[in-house]
Structure 1
Amino acid sequence: MSERLIQSIERAADVLEIFLTTNSELSVKEISEKVNLSKSTVHGIIKTLEHRGYLQQNPDDLKYRLGIKLFELGNFVGKHLDIRSIARPIIKDLVNELNETVHLVLLNRNEIIYIEKEDGPRTLTMYSHIGKRAPVHCTGVGKAILAHLSDQEVDRLLSIQNLLSFTEFTMTDKEEIKNHLKSIRECGYAVDDEEIELGLKCIAAPIFNHQGNVIASISCAAPKIRLDEERLPKVIAGIRKAALEISKALGYKGVMQR
């Protein structure tokens, strides 16, 4: 293998992976024997993993077991893979219909993260790519999600985020943003009109799970000149329809707002 591997991370992975094929709880001595490392080395690895939540110690017998952080990561990855596989054909159909770029995003760690992107035939250079993070307050996809969170969660997100101004059209006042979110809830879609990038316009709609909770959003992004008043209704209808199709495939029982 030509890639340079980091030994300490390899060892930590070895420690975690032995729990996949052995007892649910192991002592430091047992782990040391199974990974063929000294007890002092293993102890340092274990304490680091415990500190980060990947392992936890049973206070009764002082043995270690896998921690809740691994469940959180596995659950996170599993949900994301599901929504991507469900959304991908719907996104492709939407790109073919609109001939514009379509994004799929999730809210993660107080920002949105792009997990799928399908370029239209008339590609354009823009800030987005899969794995890219962006603020929630000035992106159509971010506002589509924000608008369907609880008031408490919206307050929390707007309080911990730096409400930076990216263009002259970026909203940075919390009360103005919250009033704007009300209109998004009423109409069922969000618009980013040059708020994060001059010349770029995005139309976004929320995606809901089987419990009716917003978990993602989808958007069409194009140069503002291509999303004029004549074409806008078709784009809005397409985005909202695609968002509802994805939501339905995830078990959502609601209907599209008029």
Structure 2
Amino acid sequence: MANVQSVNRSLSILEALAQSPKGIGLTELANKVNLAKSSAHRLLATLINKGYVVQNRETDEYLLGLKIIELSSALLENLDIRTVAKKTLEELCSQTNEVVHLCIHENGEVVYIDKFESDQTIRMHSRIGKRTMMHSTGVGKVLLSGMTADEVRSIIKEKGMVAFTPNTITQENVLFDCLEKINKEGYTIDEIENEEGIRCIAAPIYDYSGKIIAAISISGPENRVTKERIQSELIDLILQTADIVSKKMGYLRD
């Protein structure tokens, strides 16, 4: 397929401007993109007209315009988390040979929107589309950790804190301590709190604005997903995976 020269040159200008956030003069810019000043000036005039570039009238230097932000924001807001995360979560499932979940929050509940099965036999209640409570699951607690205290209390008031196992958190202050720990460590463990015999580790997925938009988990029977294995292997794997997916969603860690 033939390249359109003017398009290539315009894109080169935009890329060069992205590398010079404080602005760049015409001569330096033309040199950077290997263009004559007259050619660079003509292309810049078109880009300014379309809002992709602005010129500082005091310094005559050029900068990226707000139209770039508009386009990138539209792209990021329309990213489908399932599509974006699918390959990475499949790899995590293959690496651990345990069940991997992708979940979101909706109306005070956890919703499982994707599930990747391991080769090992395991009976779990989770399935795509299933809803469950937030306080008793690793993914639910991760999602709660991104909310305000008032939002969390509102969910607790509406949904309650039912005990599904002897380990389920049923006290509000204990839950808030757990959420604080998640925000410090970046992950949490479901210590057989939602299903008997099932332990999991979960971590948050962030969008471009730094908001938690989803949670992922590695789940398995307690004899395979041991406390020792979590510490030696699974914490690193889930944090790395969550970071990869978050970056694909546009998140830039400080």
TM-score interval for Structure 1 and Structure 2 normalised by the shorter chain: 0.5 to 0.7
**TM-score normalized by structure 2?**
0.67
Q: How far did 1:229 drift?
A: 3.4
Indicate if the aligned counterparts of 2:101 and 2:217 stay in contact, CA closer than 8 A: yes
What is the alpha-carbon distance in structure 2 between the residues aligned to residue 80 and residue 199 of structure 1? 38
Indicate if the aligned counterparts of 2:189 and 2:201 stay in contact, CA closer than 8 A: yes
Q: How far did 1:154 drift?
A: 1.5
Q: How far did 1:81 drift?
A: 7.3
Which is greater in Rg?
2
> How many equivalent residue pairs?
178
What's the counterpart of residue 163 of structure 2?
A: 165
- Letter matched to residue 249 of structure 1: K
Which contiguous aligned blocks of 4+ residues in structure 1 show a shift greater than 2 angstroms?
78-81
Indicate if the aligned counterparts of 1:115 and 1:131 stay in contact, CA closer than 8 A: yes
Residues 127, 80 of structure 1: CA spacing in aligned structure 2 closer, same or farther, 3 A cutoff? farther
Q: How far did 1:197 drift?
A: 0.7
What is the alpha-carbon distance in structure 2 between the residues aligned to residue 224 and residue 93 of structure 1? 22
What's the counterpart of residue 75 of structure 1?
A: none
Unaligned runs of 5+ in 2: 1-75
Aligned CA-pair RMSD: 1.7
What's the counterpart of residue 210 of structure 2?
A: 212
Unaligned runs of 5+ in 1: 1-77
Q: How far did 1:230 drift?
A: 3.0
1:83 partnered with 2:81:
yes
1:137 partnered with 2:101:
no
* Residue from 109, 112, 115 that aligns with 1:114: 112
1:199 partnered with 2:197:
yes
Indicate if the aligned counterparts of 2:199 and 2:222 stay in contact, CA closer than 8 A: yes
Residues 128, 79 of structure 1: CA spacing in aligned structure 2 closer, same or farther, 3 A cutoff? farther
Q: How far did 1:79 drift?
A: 6.9
Residue aligned with 1:191, SS: strand
Which residues in structure 2 correspond to 1:184-195 (within 5 Å)? 184-195=182-193
Q: Deviations over 1:193-221 (max 9, x none)?
A: 11111110010000111110111000000
What is the alpha-carbon distance in structure 1 between the residues aligned to residue 132 and residue 180 of structure 2? 21
What is the alpha-carbon distance in structure 2 between the residues aligned to residue 109 and residue 182 of structure 1? 22
What's the counterpart of residue 34 of structure 2?
A: none
Q: How far did 1:228 drift?
A: 2.0
1:92 partnered with 2:90:
yes
Residues 95, 80 of structure 1: CA spacing in aligned structure 2 closer, same or farther, 3 A cutoff? farther
Q: How far did 1:123 drift?
A: 3.1
What is the alpha-carbon distance in structure 1 between the residues aligned to residue 228 and residue 135 of structure 2? 27
- Letter matched to residue 239 of structure 2: R
What is the alpha-carbon distance in structure 1 between the residues aligned to residue 187 and residue 225 of structure 2? 15
Q: Deviations over 1:127-175 (max 9, x none)?
A: 1000000100000000011112122211222221121110111111111
* Residue from 144, 152, 155 that aligns with 2:153: 155
* Residue from 226, 229, 247 that aligns with 2:227: 229
Indicate if the aligned counterparts of 1:101 and 1:123 stay in contact, CA closer than 8 A: no
What is the alpha-carbon distance in structure 2 between the residues aligned to residue 106 and residue 132 of structure 1? 11
Q: Deviations over 1:171-194 (max 9, x none)?
A: 111111111211111111011111
What's the counterpart of residue 251 of structure 1?
A: 250
What's the counterpart of residue 241 of structure 2?
A: 242
What is the alpha-carbon distance in structure 2 between the residues aligned to residue 80 and residue 196 of structure 1? 32
Indicate if the aligned counterparts of 1:199 and 1:223 stay in contact, CA closer than 8 A: yes
- Letter matched to residue 155 of structure 1: R
Residue aligned with 1:226, SS: coil
What's the counterpart of residue 64 of structure 1?
A: none
- Letter matched to residue 217 of structure 2: S
Equivalent pairs: percent with the same residue?
37
Residues 80, 198 of structure 1: CA spacing in aligned structure 2 closer, same or farther, 3 A cutoff? farther
1:127 partnered with 2:99:
no
Which residues in structure 2 correspond to 1:5-154 (within 5 Å)? 82-154=80-152
Indicate if the aligned counterparts of 2:187 and 2:201 stay in contact, CA closer than 8 A: yes
What is the alpha-carbon distance in structure 2 between the residues aligned to residue 147 and residue 244 of structure 1? 17
